[in-house]
A and B are shown apart, each in its own frame.
Chain A
Amino acid sequence: MKVSMTVNGKGVERDVEPRMLLVHFLREELDMTGTKIGCDTSQCGACTVHLDGKALKSCTMLAVQADGADITTIEGLANGDLHVMQESFWENHGLQCGYCTPGMIMSTTALVQDNPNMSEGEIRHQLEGNLCRCTGYHNIVKAVQQASEKMGGGD
């Protein structure tokens, strides 16, 4: 089945099986392997991308469902310079192995765009859809706090 969508500002079109998940479309059809597969059961958030500006677990949507959509992945977040959230993860050492990081960054940029005034407690709560097996979350929370201050309502 034919699908076309915009990925990181660029139009793409492919003929795919209906059962192909969006995450496989990105990783295998487009060779964009920044988006990770952690659990493959909709729990861990490593596969988070933005669909029409909203955070989505891309292992939980078919590529054909995303036909016509505007997708942003971790590869498309930086605009020349790193995105503020990427920079904050770097500066606060918000990662160790880095496997959860693309999903963490896509999830938290969407969260902060919606609400740049989250308290530390709210940030921790809102991270419930993203799992990290390394950091213990403290530095991730610090990174999100720093980015929120800088983003102040939009990026």
Chain B
Amino acid sequence: MAATKNKSLQQFDTDDPNRIQDIGWTFKEVWRRARGTVVVSINLITFFILWELVVIYADINPLFLPKASEMFAELWVGLTTRAPEGAVFSGSILDHFLHSFNNLMFGLALACLIGIPGGLLMGGNKYIEAILSPYVWALASLPRIALVPLFILFLGFTTKMQVTIIVISAVFPIMINSWAGVKTTEKSLLAAARVFGANRVQLYVKVVLPYTLPFIISGIQQGIGRGLIGVVIAELFGGSSGLGYLIQRSADTFNTAMTFAVLLLLIVMSLSLINFTRWLEAYVAPWRNVNHI
């Protein structure tokens, strides 16, 4: 009845064929999609070529700065070979990478298992919040690196020690973000759910949790950054495996190309993980980023 009246208020039916128009593959459209990748590729290629030229022509001591090509060669060899069976030390980047990566994933998983329920409980119950929050803030504000000697004392130069440091580094951003998500849940959404009959459990499951989900994901994103610092620190301090250890040893043995190769690998790993969580956040909560699209 009101259907025709409101047409003027810029409404289309979703099945109105005029509402969605096919743009097709024009040159402009292809460029619009590929632009980002092309610009980044050219930028990086130029950067590495300049690096190569500077090292060659400025006659820089390869002990301080290897040629970019040497770094890539070292990276390629390191990633395609593995240590022989029974070797005490491995020179293979891949072996050390897998060690670090597995530790990081395991540590992050543990941090999520502790941090998410912890944050949700703190946000949901003021008694738990009152009891736990001083400890959470205390540990979160302490530079985590200061705890490393203590964990080495407790656990020795073990994988357990390394994972513990990752967990202690990553757990607080995850916990604090989950906590904040619960606390900042929009009051009007809660009021609406209550007016329409939601009980406490339903309020939690159907309003608070979905609202908090993107907060949790951005907590995990910060946790990845912190966790990576934890990985490297733990391995620099002690142990005989992992990328941190490899950085240490290659620098000690003046294999600077290897050091740079490992640094590059760390950058790539960190960026990949963080971009994955960005994508995940946009995927589960498209309403939060609608202004940026």
- A and B from one complex: no
Residues of B within 8 A of A (CB): none
